[in-house]
Chain A
Amino acid sequence: MEKVECIVVGGGLAGLSAAYGLAAEGVEVMVLERGNYAGAKNVTGGRLYTSVLRDIYPELWEEAPFERAIVREAVTLMGDGAATTVEVASDRFAAPSPQSHTVLRARFDQWLAEKVGEKGGMVVGDMKVDELLLENGKVIGVRAGGDEVGADVTIVAEGVLGLLASAAGLREAPAAADHALGYKEVIELPAATIEDRFQLNEGEGLAQLFMGDVTRGMTGGGFLYTNKESISLGVVVAMEHMRSRGDELESWQLLDEFKEKAQIKPLVAGGEVAEYSAHAVAEGGFDKLPRLFGDGYLLAGEAAGLSLNALVTVRGMDFAIASGYHAARAALAARDAKDYSAATLSAYDRALRESWVIGDLDTARNVPGFIENERLFGVYPAAVSRLAESFFTVGPGRSSRMVKTGWRGARREFLNTATLKDLWSMRKI
């Protein structure tokens, strides 16, 4: 059996980040990617919190093919024919060191794969791994394209479904309760049109999330991200809710319904849909993390459940890059020790727990349970919008004082046992 020092399963951000860290230290590393190229099977909503790159691979941050720096953040609650938007702009979001950028994965991942190549790593496309090879509970390599290849350590960064790892018994198969379905259109518009329409300076962008009507009250939401010359517009819905709904709507039609809404239609008008894509998203959070290491292997990225939906921040790619980096560090330490056992590779788990990667998942550990509550996506977006609307409404008849309008509306919409209970449960998130 042919053998290399390290095999990385999957040329997404976790795998490529690991491979980059290893290749830079002269490790013989081979990334196996089932798509025609890195990024061919990947879908993002749109945004990467890029500070992770600046911290761990500053030379990459300098030249990464980002789309736009996100300088404005917006959240829109919609329901009952009304919508309320909260928008935040901050100098801290903008140059010289913006915290996040929109990206398109086919472009971004191919670039990162090139960088791995420049460091001496090998990224092999069109190569699907069919099986992780185990010997006495130790991962000793992979079977791919009819051949077996051995490795001292295998970094499993196969993506959210984790089919190989679960077939090998290294983690559970994905469950509907812990996953969401996301799908989107990339809609092309000239850069100048995007900047005019969204009131952006050149190179700057907007990220907007939508809750309420967009998912017909199911847990999830809509999203809009501005890229350089396109808009990513999509919907994410909890699989459990998607599969148990009673209406006759086809799942894909939710996005069309969203697109037709008065708040969205003018934003994408005149745009050409260029691509339609879909992907699963892991949303189980801290309590659903699998064991991240064992004899001869490490799990990284979303295959390890490393992603976080914290309502107004939705993250995954930064977790992928950071976990790839820490996987590389652990593999390097194992190489120095000439010992690839679970005991040595457990350094990976410790590093993730000490860093923000598992730290942030821990902080948000009650969010997945909280957002199961459909009132959050059905009742409240409509209630907030009705209340906001009442302040701006004149007549019929004599208006009441502002404070009275507010109090009356708040009492009508929010003074009930269910809402008080929900408020109480909010203290944990």
Chain B
Amino acid sequence: MEIDAKLGLDVFKLDEERHITIDTAICKTVCTTRTCLKVCPADLYELDDKGEMTVNWEGCLECGSCLICCDDRALTWTYPRGGFGVQYRMS
């Protein structure tokens, strides 16, 4: 089962405001480990064509692994605003 299909099963209340922002300068100049790519259980992190780190924050499961594992502090990570984000029905 592909990850998009898994995320497709979950209920998300989409906010217009993003809750994760990446300081891509840190990703480019400081980070050598790319831990966000390795830990995110929703596979949301991606290097784009220009080699810039991006995150599809809309599918975030709010586990916080990327935040905990990014030693270079490239992420500004909060929970989505009240009422937004993933809404688990049976976990």
Contacts and interface: CB of A to CB of B under 8 A. Distances in A.
A106 B3 CA distance: 22
Given A42-B88, A43-B91, A276-B7, A245 B65 contact: no
B83 A36 contact: yes
A326 interface: no
Interface in B54-79: 61-65, 67-69, 71, 78-79
A186 B90 contact: yes
B89 A106 contact: yes
Contact of B90 (A34, A37, A41, A274): A274
B69 A277 contact: no
Interface residues of A, number: 51
A242 B69 CA distance: 9
A278 interface: yes
B90 A276 contact: no
Nearest to A178: B68
Contacts of A181: 39, 41, 63, 65
A126 B43 CA distance: 26
A250 B88 contact: no
Given A128-B79, A174-B64, A273-B9, A107 B90 contact: yes
A256 B1 contact: yes
A171 interface: no
A183 B62 CA distance: 11
A104 interface: yes
B33 interface: yes
A144 to B, nearest CB: 7
A329 interface: no
Q: Report, nearest first, the 5 A-B pairs whose CB atoms are least far apart.
A: A126-B83, A128-B82, A277-B91, A276-B6, A243-B35
